Amino acid sequence: MRLCGTLFPCSDGTHEQKLQLLDRVHGCGYDFVTFTVGEDATGIKETIQMVAAARALILSQQDKFVLVDTAEDVVTAKKSERPAISLHFQGTRPIESTIGTIELYYALGVRQMLLATNLKNLVGDGCKERTDCGLSRFGVMVVEEMNRVGMLVDGSHSGNRTTLEACEVSTDPFIFSHSNPQALFDHPRNISDEQIKAAAGTGGVIGINRVGVFLGKNDSTTETILRHIDYVVQLVGAEHVGVAPICRSMQVTRLQRHGIHRTRAMFLGPRSTISSPSNCLNWQKV
């Protein structure tokens, strides 16, 4: 099964443009995509409006798309040749200071939430904050509630201590949905070996993104992407590594143009090694 990393934000473009984008992504071979419907810049009111708009868009085209409720829905969608779509937040400000909103958002289709996007919020520090204070007491409660309802806890964009402490608290797999190894390129958005090992220790996955400024000096070549993937594979094993393209409409075109549709956000097989782009064809799909 081919998984798309992130389509964001849902507020971008007209209704027609969003439908066209979904068609193009599915045409690339992706079976599952996820919409950003909230972030650390949106409170409850604006987030609810974005969630409502996304649900209306998807549910108005049920002959073409499947709104995901369970993992089985993704399999069902693939069998019917329709893309499965879920919703996520890039940050925890959409819950404001109310733990109960997590269960509400889950009921509306939100299946994944970042802890903090670059800067500090009520949950913890972001990766570009001047401090590294870790998970707040409220943040501990948020992780525990996300575990309870079944929402994925995501550490991308979040601070070092915040993610390490969240891994300690979480009883479910913890993910970095779109983060690259800091050991290969020192950037605030990239993550340390300690963070990678902590996430893998929970049974989680690290999704390697293809943004040039995170891979190197604006270097998004296939060879560089594979070098980042291989580094994490050698560190924690292929079962903990995925590919996480961050897609807007123009990026889908670039993916097609550069042949990246051949990799299609696969998880790697347990004994995969990467020495050249041709090895992509040997990756195990899940």
CA distance 118 to 113: 14
Name the DSSP letter for residue 126: B
> In the structure encoding, which two tokens stand for residue 225, read together?
């992407």
Beta strand 246-247 pairing with 241-243: unpaired
pLDDT tens for residues 29-78? Answer: 788 888 889 999 999 999 999 999 999 989 998 999 999 999 899 999 99
63 Cα distance to chain centroid: 26
159-192 pLDDT, tens digit each: 999 999 999 999 999 999 999 999 999 999 999 9
Q: Which CATH architecture has domain 6-282?
A: Alpha-Beta Barrel (3.20)
Domains of the chain, by residue range, sit at 6-282
Which of the two residues, 179 and 4, has the higher pLDDT score?
179
For residue 209, give the nearest of 151, 275, 157 by alpha carbon: 157
Q: What is the DSSP letter of 158?
A: B
Q: How far are the Cα atoms of 183, 222, 270 from residue 234, in angstroms, in the given order? A: 13, 18, 11
Residue 256 is predicted with a pLDDT of 38
Taken as a whole, the chain contains a residue count of 286
In angstroms, how far apart are the furthest CA atoms of the chain? 49
